[in-house]
Amino acid sequence: MSGLPDREGEVDLILDMPTLVAIIAAARAADEVQEEAVNEPVQDPENPEDVSPREMGRAVAGMIANLNEDEQAALIALTWIGRGDFDATEWTQVLRQARERNADGTAPHYLGEMPLLGELLSEGLAALGRPPEEEG
């Protein structure tokens, strides 16, 4: 998988859509837990099912760590497009820069700590004409 547009003009996302949708859902859940922790700093000590923001962030980072380097670079590229750093038409260039950014293998930490990761990924996919809400 090269990251180049396919026959229909769509970008090769490198990652399969179910994996992307799962990462987006986990990242959104982590953001939600983080927001709740900020708004309600005292968790109920009698409710052991409360999940800490740190645990949720580790779960997202773990999902990213299980991806290969090309898939991790694709996630970085999608976040950059979703954040507005690059235009969707620059996919090949953005993907190349994301591979360089991830040469040290720090994508799980870099992305796992990124606020609003789920939204950025979703926006990146939407910019590429592939909103996850339509795919999931």
State pTM to two decimals: 0.81
Tens digits of pLDDT across the chain (136 residues): 444 444 356 788 999 999 999 999 999 988 887 666 555 554 555 554 556 667 778 889 999 999 999 999 999 999 999 999 999 999 999 999 999 999 999 999 999 889 899 999 999 999 999 887 655 4
Q: How far apart are CA 67 and CA 112, in angstroms?
A: 13
User: Is there a contact between 33 and 26 (Cβ–Cβ < 8 Å)?
Assistant: no
The residue count of the chain comes to: 136
Domain ranges across the chain: 17-133
Predicted local confidence at residue 55, as pLDDT: 79
